């Protein structure tokens, strides 16, 4: 598990901002030793890209390309044939007020919305997510505890998965044993396209229930760089890379 995550982190270093932009700038410095004009152009490109990805305007535009799901119509769930609410894990956090490990901000958003959907539909809940850090409990167990704070106890706790693909496959196996093939899938809007693809590949019909990040308004201050915007650009870049990889992987699997 730890080795897999380390290799993933190393790959992200070369692919995702902002680390890849610092590497690009360093490459420009090295190139400038032999070809000064080209090296400076590479350095300027890295700086411009870092600025652009740090602005709310660009970050919001990138997120909107992923947040395509429409708000869930709770009144239509009963007629949809859905048999469960599935909540995907995100990140975890270490906090002294909770005595150690607990759900991170994105995971908490998903858990809270899942509780709302479960209360409105009376559907049972499945939480899915394995161990992210050595010595920590599976995220699914943390999600189960958080759901109980909202008055909901999950029926299934899938605590082995490490990726969205595994979330889908392991959850599908649990649900099919209870005759369930249609689910209300709860995750962040930027993660929904990849998640829906994975669950469809696992043989489940998905009703998206996305939590959305607020897109910035078009105004002057959206061109002022912020740390939050850079984080959102990173989320968007991560999802687009992940979505492309899943599409390629699933396409290849159909040919084998």
b/e for 115-141, b at 16 or more Cβ within 10 A?
bbbbeebebbbbbbbbbbeeeebbbbb
When pLDDT is cut at 50, 70 and 90, the band that residue 94 belongs to is very high
Q: What is the mean pLDDT of residues 78-107?
A: 94
pLDDT of residue 1 exceeding 50, the answer is no
For the chain, give the percent of residues with pLDDT over 90.
77
pLDDT averaged over every residue in the chain:
91
The interaxial angle of helices 19-32 and 36-53, nearest 10 deg, is 160
- The DSSP-derived string for the chain is -HHHHHHHHHHHHHHSTTHHHHHHHHHHHHHHTT-HHHHHHHHHHHHHHHHHHTSHHHHHHHHHTT--PPPP-GGGSGGGT--EEEEE---EEEEGGGTEEEE-HHHHHHHHHHHHHHHHH---EEEE----STTSPPHHHHHHHHHHHTT---SEEE----SHHHHHHHHHHHHHTTT--EEEEEEEHHHHHHHHHHHHHTT-EEEEEEE-PPPPPSSGGGGS--HHHHHHHHHHHHHHHHHHHHHHHHHHHHH-
Q: Domain ranges for the chain, please list them.
A: 11-65+224-255, 74-211
- The mean pLDDT value for 121-130 works out to 97
Q: Is the model's pLDDT at 132 over the cut of 70?
A: yes
User: Torsion angle of alpha carbons 71, 75, 78, 81, nearest 10°?
Assistant: -30
What pLDDT score was predicted for residue 9? 63
- Give residue 221's pLDDT: 62
Model confidence, pTM: 0.89
Q: Would you identify the CATH topology of the domain 74-211? A: Rossmann fold (3.40.50)
Per-residue pLDDT tens for 148-187? 999 999 999 999 999 999 999 999 999 999 999 999 999 9
Contact 86, 185 (CB under 8 A): yes
Give the pLDDT confidence score for residue 214 in this predicted structure: 62
pLDDT > 60? residue 217: no
């Amino acid at each position: 598990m730890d080795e897999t995550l380390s290799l993933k982190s190393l790959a992200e270093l070369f692919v995702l901002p902002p680390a890849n932009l610092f590497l690009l700038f360093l490459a420009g410095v090295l190139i400038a030793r032999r070809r000064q004009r080209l090296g400076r152009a590479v350095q300027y490109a890295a700086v411009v890209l870092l600025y652009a990805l740090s602005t709310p305007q660009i970050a919001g535009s990138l997120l909107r390309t992923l947040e395509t799901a429409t708000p869930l119509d709770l009144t239509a769930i009963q007629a949809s044939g859905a048999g469960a609410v599935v909540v995907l894990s995100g990140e975890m956090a270490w906090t002294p007020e909770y005595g150690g490990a607990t759900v991170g901000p994105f995971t908490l958003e998903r858990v809270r919305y899942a509780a709302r959907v479960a209360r409105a539909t009376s559907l049972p809940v499945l939480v899915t997510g394995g161990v992210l850090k050595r010595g920590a409990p599976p995220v699914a167990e943390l999600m189960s505890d958080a759901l109980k704070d909202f008055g909901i106890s999950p029926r299934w706790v899938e605590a082995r998965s490490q990726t969205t693909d595994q979330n889908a496959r392991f959850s599908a196996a649990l649900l099919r044993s209870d005759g369930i093939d249609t689910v209300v899938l709860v995750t962040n809007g930027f993660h929904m396209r990849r998640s829906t693809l994975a669950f469809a590949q696992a043989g489940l019909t998905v009703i998206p229930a996305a939590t959305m990040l607020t897109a910035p308004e078009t105004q002057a201050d959206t061109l002022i760089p912020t740390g939050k915007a850079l984080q959102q650009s990173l989320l968007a870049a991560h999802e687009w890379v992940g979505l492309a990889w899943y599409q390629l992987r699933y396409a290849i699997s159909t040919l084998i």
